[in-house]
Amino acid sequence: MASTIPGQMMHVPLLISSILRHAARHHGDTEIVSRRIEGDIHRYTYRDLQQRARQLAKALHALGVEPGERVGTLAWNGYRHLEIYYAVSGAGSVCHTINPRLFPEQIEYIANHADDRYVFFDLTFLPLVERLAPHCPQVRGWVAMTDRAHMPASEVSLLCYEELLDAQDSDYAWPEFDENTASSLCYTSGTTGNPKGVLYSHRSTVLHSYGAALPDSMALSARDCVLPVVPMFHVNAWGLPYAVPLTGAKLVFPGKDLDGKSLYELFETEGVTFSAGVPTVWLGLLDHVKKNGLRFNTLNRTVIGGSACAPAMIRSFEEEYGVQVIHAWGMSEMSPLGTLCKLRVKHANLPREAQRALLEKQGSAIYGVDLKIVGPDGQELPWDGESFGDLLVRGPWVIDTYFKGDKSPLVNGWFPTGDVATIDADGYVHITDRSKDVIKSGGEWISSIDVENVVMAHPAVHEAACIAISHPKWDERPLLVIVKKPGAQVTREEILKFYDGRVAKWWIPDDVVFVDEIPHTATGKMQKLKLREQFKDYVAPASA
Ligand code: ADP
C-alpha cells in the first residue's frame, strides 16, 4: 500500500474547557438555575459560570492542587458542582464525583483508592464528612460548598467554598494540554467486590458530548431547557453537564429534592423541555401528577435508562401526558451512552402496537459505539432479534482499563458489558438481563426483565423484581417479588393469572411474594443480589 499522507487541519485538542468557553462566548446570557441546599433558587448565566470556574481554578492552584491530582465531590446537582466539574478538569486535574448514597465504608475505600487531595461537599453531607475525615489522611482539606454565613460548626476543620472564590479574580487562561489527559473519575457501584474506577479523558468526554447531543440521541439544542434528574455523582449525570453547555441550552438543577412534587414544580416554573433519569424517580413523578390531576406544559421528552424502563411507564408518559420517552442503555464504563431508542422513517406506518414493541427496546447505537453479541464460545451471533448472548462494545468513549487496575477487562479489544441482549436486523438492542440475573430454567433462559415488565402494567403493582430460586428439577425457576401501590389489593393468584397469554407458560413465575420495599443500589437499581440472598431457601408451593 502506498504510504498515507498527513491531513493538514489544525491540531486543536478536544478539551472540556473548550465547551465552557463556547457556552460563555456564544450563549453567555443563557441561564443556569439551581435549587440550592440553602433552600432558595439561584440563577446565573454561562458567562458567570465561566468567571467563577476560573476563580475556582485559581483557588485550586493556590491550595496546591497539581495537574493529574484528584479532587473529590460529595454533592447534588447544582451550579457549584458544575463549577467544580469545569474548574478541576479545565486546570488539568481530575474531578472525582463520589456517590454519597454508597455505604460509608465504600466511600472511604473510594476516596482513598482515588487518593483525593481535597473533597468538596454539600452541607447535607457534613455528617458523612465527619465520619470519613479520620479515615482519609491523604485528604488535605474538606470544602463546604456554601458561603460564610451558612458555614456549619464541625470538629473537622473546614474550608469555605465562597471564601476560596472571593480570594481570587477571574484572570485565568485555561491551559492547553493533550486531549487524552484524564479529566474525571467515577466508580461503579460494585454490587460484588470493591468499586472500580473509570477514568475518563478530555477527548472521550467531548466526543461523548457530541454523541449525546445528536438528533437521534438526546437531540439537545439551544432552544431546550434541560433538567438532569440523574445525579452528577452518577456517571457525570449521563454527560449532560457537558452536552448541555455544548449546545447552549438552559440548565436547571434540582439540588437534593428529587420527589415528584419538587421536580414537577421546577419543570413548570422553569419551562423544562427535556429531562433524564432512572425509572424509580419517574415512578415518583408520575404518581404525583396522577394524584393531583396535573399536566406537563413544557416537558416534551425524557430519557429513561440505568435500568429497564417498564413499557407501562413509557405508555403512561406518552398517552396520558404527551411526553416522549427515549429508552436508553449504557453504563459507567461507556461514559455512559450506548444506545437510545427512536423510530425510523420505515416504522412510521407500522401499527401502534408494533411501534410500541420497538420503543420498549433499548434502541440502536450512537455513532461512536460499536456493538456485538457473542455466544458461550465467543462466536458472534446473528442480528435476528432472537439470538441472545453477551453484549460487547468498543469505541472512543468506552473503557480500556480500570483506574489502577492491573489487568485489562477487554476481550480481544472489546469490553464485555455483563449484559445479555438480542440485536435485530436494524441494530435495535433488547437487553434481556444482566448475565448474573438471568434465570436458567431447564437449560433455557428466562428474561427477568421481561417478566417484570409484564406485571408492571398491573394497576396494583408499584414495583416488581423477578429473581431465580433453586428448583430440584429445573435448576432455577422465577420468583416474583412485588411492592403493591399504596392501598391496592391484589392476590398471588390474580398476579399469576395476569401472565396468561402474555408470556410463554414456562416463564410464568412459580410464586409471588409481597414485600414493603425492594432494596435499591446507590444508583437506583433493584438489588437482586440481596433479594436472591433473602429468598435463597425459598420453596415455591408448586415445587414443595
Ligand atoms: P453500576 O450499577 O454497575 O454502577 P451503571 O450505572 O453503569 O453501573 O449500570 C450499568 C448497567 O445498568 C448496565 O450494564 C445494565 O445492566 C443496566 N442498564 C442500564 N440501562 C438499562 C436499560 N435501559 N435497560 C436495562 N438495563 C439497563
Query: Model confidence over 463-504: pLDDT tens digits?
Result: 999 999 999 888 899 999 999 999 999 999 999 999 999 988
- For 437-543, CATH number? 3.30.300.30
Measured in angstroms, how far is the CA atom of residue 529 from the centroid of ligand 1? Answer: 15
Cell numbers representing residue 161 in the block: 467554598
Among 186, 302, 331, 452, residue to substitute to test ligand 1 (most atoms within 8 Å of Cβ): 331
Indicate the residue type of 144. Answer: A
In the reported structure, the alpha carbon of residue 332 is separated from the centroid of ligand 1 by a whole-number distance in angstroms of 8
Q: Give, for 120, the enclosing helix (H) or strand (E).
A: strand 116-121
CB 324 within 8 A of CB 302: yes
Q: What pLDDT, on a 0 to 100 scale, did the predictor assign at position 542?
A: 62
Q: What is the pLDDT of residues 362-403, one digit of tens each?
A: 999 999 999 999 999 999 999 999 999 999 999 999 999 999
Kindly report the average pLDDT of the chain as a whole number.
95
**Ligand 1, residues at Cβ distance < 6 Å:** 188-189, 235, 305-308, 327-329, 331-332, 336, 362, 417-419, 431, 434, 521, 523, 525
Sign of CA dihedral 505, 511, 515, 519: negative
Give the rounded percent of residues in the chain with a pLDDT score beyond 90. 88
Tell which CATH architecture fits domain 277-435: 3-Layer(aba) Sandwich (3.40)
Average confidence (pLDDT) over 123-147? 97
* Out of 10-14, 242-246, 495-499, 500-504, least confident range: 500-504
Domain segments of the chain: what residues?
Answer: 21-26+48-217, 277-435, 437-543
What is the DSSP secondary-structure string of 143-162? EESS-GGGPPP-SS-EEEHH
- Report, as an integer, the average pLDDT of 239-255: 98
What would the mean pLDDT of 140-154 be, rounded to a whole number? 97
In this structure, the residue with its CA closest to atom 19 of ligand 1 is 306
Residue 33 CB: number of other CB atoms within 10 A? 21
Spot the catalytic one: 188, 417, 422, 432.
188
| 348 contacts: CB under 8 Å, gap ≥ 6 | none
Nearest protein CA to atom 6 of ligand 1, as residue: 331
- The DSSP H or E segment spanning 163 is helix 161-166
Backbone angles phi, psi at 439, to 5 degrees: -105, 120
pLDDT at 192 over 70: no
Nearest atom within ligand 1 for CA of residue 191: 3
Longest dimension (CA), the chain: 75
Looking at the CA of residue 328, tell me the nearest atom of ligand 1: 23
Q: Alpha helices, DSSP H only, in 180-249?
A: 202-213, 235-238, 240-247
**189 near 195, Cβ under 8 Å?**
yes
66 is known as an active-site residue: no
What is the per-residue pLDDT across 92-116, written as a single tens digit (0 to 9) for each? 999 999 999 988 999 999 999 999 9
Concerning whether 282 is annotated as a catalytic residue, the answer is no
Tens-digit pLDDT profile for residues 516-531 = 999 988 888 898 989 9
Instruction: Please check whether the two domains, 21-26+48-217 and 277-435, share a CATH topology.
Output: yes
| CA atoms within a 13 Å half-sphere pointing along the CA-CB vector of 273 | 11
pLDDT at 340: 98
457 CA from centroid of ligand 1 (Å): 22
Taking phi over 0 as left and psi of -120 to 50 as alpha, with beta for the rest, 255 belongs to left
Q: Is 8 exposed, middle or buried (0-12, 13-18, 19+ CB in 10 A)?
A: exposed
Instruction: Tell which residue, 389, 432, 368, 437, has the closest CA to residue 216.
Output: 368
462 C-alpha to ligand 1 centroid (Å)? 21
71-108 b/e with 16+ CB inside 10 Å = b?
Answer: bbbbbbbbbbbbbbbbbbbbbbbbbbbbbbbbeeebbb
* pLDDT at 190 exceeding the cut of 70: no
- Ligand 1 pocket: which of 208, 235, 280, 329 to mutate (most atoms within 8 A of CB): 329
Query: What spacing in Å lies between the alpha carbon of 209 and ligand 1's midpoint?
Result: 19
- Residue 431's pLDDT band, with cuts at 50, 70 and 90, is very high
Contacts of 271 (CB under 8 A, 6+ apart): 225, 298
Q: What is the pLDDT of residue 189?
A: 73
What CATH code is assigned to 21-26+48-217? 3.40.50.12780
Is the separation of the CB atoms in 335 and 234 below 8 Å?
no
Question: In this model, does residue 69 exceed pLDDT 60?
Answer: yes
- Tell me, yes or no, if 440 is annotated catalytic: yes
How far is residue 109's CA from residue 70's CA, in Å, rounded to a whole number? 14
Which pLDDT value is given to residue 436?
87
Residue 191 has pLDDT above 70, yes or no: no
Q: What is the pLDDT of residue 523?
A: 81
